[in-house]
A and B are shown apart, each in its own frame.
Chain A
Amino acid sequence: MDPKDGGGEEEEEEEFGFSRNYFLAREIGGGSGKKSGRKLSDIDLADEQVLRAEASRIKEKHEKEIALLLKSYKDLYPKWLFELRCGFGLLMYGFGSKKVLLEDFASSSLTDYGALVINGYLPSINLKLVIIAICEMLQDQLKTSRKGSVRKKAKTQQPLSSQSMEDLLMFLNEQPSDDNDSFVCLIIHNIDGPALRDFETQQYLARLASCSPVRVIASIDHVNAPLLWDKKMVHTQFNWCWYHVPTFAPYKAEGVFFPLILAGSSAAQSTKTALVVLQSLTPNAQSVFKVLAEHQLANVKEEGMPINTLYTKCREKFLVSSQVTLNSHLTEFKDHELVKVRKHSDGQDCLYIPLTTESLERLLQELV
Chain B
Amino acid sequence: MASCPSSDPPSPPPASDGIPGNHNLQPFFVLHKASHPSSAPRKTYERSPASKKTKRRIDLSGSPTKFSKNVDDSLPTDPSDPVFDQLRFDAFNRTWSNIDTTIKDVLRKINLNLFDDVRCWVQQSFSTIRATSPVPSIAITCPYPLSTDALCKQIPTAFICTKNAEFVDDLLTFQELGEHLKCSGCHVANLSSLDFSAKHGIGACISSLLRTLVPDAADVADISVLASWYSEFSRHDNPVVVIIDDMERSNGDALAEFILMMSEWAIKIPVIFIMGVATTVDAPKRLIPSGALRCLLPCKFTLGTPCERMNALIEAVLVKPCSRFTISHKVAIFLRSYFLKHDGTVTSFIRALKLACIKHFSMEHLSFLGYGVLQDDCEAAWLHKHEVLPDVCRYTSILPLHKREKGFKRAGDAFVNGLNELRRLHKNWGSIVMCLFETGKFNKMQLFDIFCEALDPSSYTLNCPDDTSSTDIFPGGVFSPAKGGSISQAIYKVRELPMALLINLLDMWSIYTEGTPEIHEKVRELQLIMRSVDGGKILKEKCADVDKSEFLHARKSILSINEKASTLLETIVRNLLVPFECIPFHEIICFKHVHILQTALIGDPRRTIQVDLLKSRAHLQCSCCGSHGSVISSSMHDTSIMYKLAQEYGDLINLHDWYQSFKATILGSRSKTKRKGQSPASKKMKTAPIEGDAMIQARFCRAVIELQITGLLRMPSKRRPDFVQRVAFGL
Contacts and interface: CB of A to CB of B under 8 A. Distances in A.
Given A109-B5, A144-B38, A224-B605, 4 more contacts: A38-B722, A235-B347, A236-B171, A246-B619
Interface string B605-617: 1101110110010
Nearest to A86: B358
Contact of B194 (A93, A203, A248, A262): A203
A164 to B, nearest CB: 6
B32 A28 contact: no
Contacts of B652: 29, 32-33
Given A133-B30, A203-B194, A262-B697, A83 B358 contact: yes
A145 B37 contact: yes
Contact of B730 (A5, A21, A36, A239): A21
B532 interface: no
Which of A44, A107, A254 neighbours the largest number of chain B CB atoms within 10 Å of its CB?
A107
A69 B722 CA distance: 37
Contacts of B229: none
Given A28-B650, A57-B695, A246-B619, A93 B608 contact: yes
A86 B92 contact: yes
Contacts of B702: 55, 58, 250, 255
Contacts of B610: 223
B607 to A, nearest CB: 8
A62 interface: yes
Nearest to A240: B603
Contacts of B10: 70-71, 73-74, 100-101, 103-105, 108
Contacts of A30: 650
A111 B35 contact: yes
B38 A181 contact: yes
B706 to A, nearest CB: 5
Given A71-B10, A94-B609, A244-B603, A258 B347 contact: no
A95 B605 CA distance: 9
Contacts of A203: 194
Interface stretch (B17-25, B104-112, B420-428): B17-25
A276 B41 contact: no
A119 B28 contact: yes
A114 B33 contact: yes
A253 B9 contact: no
19 contacts: A3-B602, A14-B730, A33-B652, A40-B659, A58-B698, A58-B699, A74-B5, A117-B23, A179-B38, A187-B31, A236-B168, A241-B600, A241-B601, A242-B600, A244-B603, A246-B619, A255-B702, A260-B701, A262-B655
Interface in A71-91: 71, 73-75, 77-79, 81-83, 85-86, 88, 91
A67 B698 contact: no
Interface of B: 2-13, 21, 23-39, 41-42, 82, 85, 88-89, 92-93, 96, 166-168, 171, 194, 207, 211, 219, 330, 333-334, 337-338, 341-343, 345, 347-348, 351, 354-355, 358, 361-363, 594, 598-606, 608-610, 612-613, 616, 619-622, 624, 635-639, 649-652, 654-657, 659-660, 690, 693-695, 697-702, 704-706, 708-712, 715-716, 721-724, 726-731
Contacts of B36: 112
A96 B8 CA distance: 19
A258 B650 contact: no
B333 A5 contact: yes
B197 to A, nearest CB: 9
B490 to A, nearest CB: 23
Contact of A95 (B85, B659, B710): B710
A71 to B, nearest CB: 4
A242 B24 contact: no
A85 B38 CA distance: 13
A18 B82 CA distance: 46
A1 interface: yes
Interface in A22-60: 22, 24-33, 36, 38-40, 42-46, 50-52, 54-55, 57-58
Nearest to A244: B608
B650 A112 contact: no
A223 B711 contact: yes
Interface stretch (A123-131, A295-303, A348-356): A123-131
A223 B693 CA distance: 31
A223 B606 contact: yes
B27 A118 contact: yes
Contact of B705 (A103, A137, A251): A251
Contacts of B29: 116-117
Nearest to A124: B27
A302 to B, nearest CB: 28
Given A117-B23, A231-B345, A263 B85 contact: no
A50 B696 CA distance: 12
A61 to B, nearest CB: 6
A295 to B, nearest CB: 28
A3 B502 CA distance: 38
Interface string A170-200: 1000000001111000010000000100000
B667 to A, nearest CB: 14
Contact of A262 (B602, B650, B659): B659
Contact of B621 (A20, A58, A65, A122): A65
A93 B605 contact: yes
A15 to B, nearest CB: 9
B243 to A, nearest CB: 16
A61 B616 CA distance: 12
Contacts of B37: 141, 144-145
A253 B29 CA distance: 15
Interface of A: 1-5, 14, 17-18, 20-22, 24-33, 36, 38-40, 42-46, 50-52, 54-55, 57-58, 61-62, 65-71, 73-75, 77-79, 81-83, 85-86, 88, 91, 93-96, 99-101, 103-119, 122, 124-126, 129-130, 133, 137, 140-141, 144-146, 164, 166-167, 170, 179-182, 187, 195, 203, 220-226, 231-232, 235-236, 239-244, 246, 248, 250-256, 258, 260-263, 266, 276, 279-280
Contact of B656 (A40, A62, A108, A220): A40
Given A5-B337, A116-B28, A111 B730 contact: no
Nearest to A277: B27
B25 to A, nearest CB: 6
A100 B11 contact: yes
B33 A2 contact: no
Contact of A261 (B25, B33, B704): B704
A95 B354 CA distance: 28
B728 A119 contact: no
A108 B338 contact: no
B676 to A, nearest CB: 20
A133 to B, nearest CB: 7
A33 B7 contact: no
Contact of A93 (B609, B619, B656): B609
A125 B609 CA distance: 26
A7 B336 CA distance: 13
A104 B598 CA distance: 26
Contacts of A62: 620, 622, 624, 637
Contacts of B650: 24-33
Contacts of A254: 709
A107 B35 CA distance: 11
Contacts of A261: 655, 700-701, 704-705, 715-716, 724
Contacts of B96: 86
Contacts of A81: 2
A261 B82 CA distance: 49
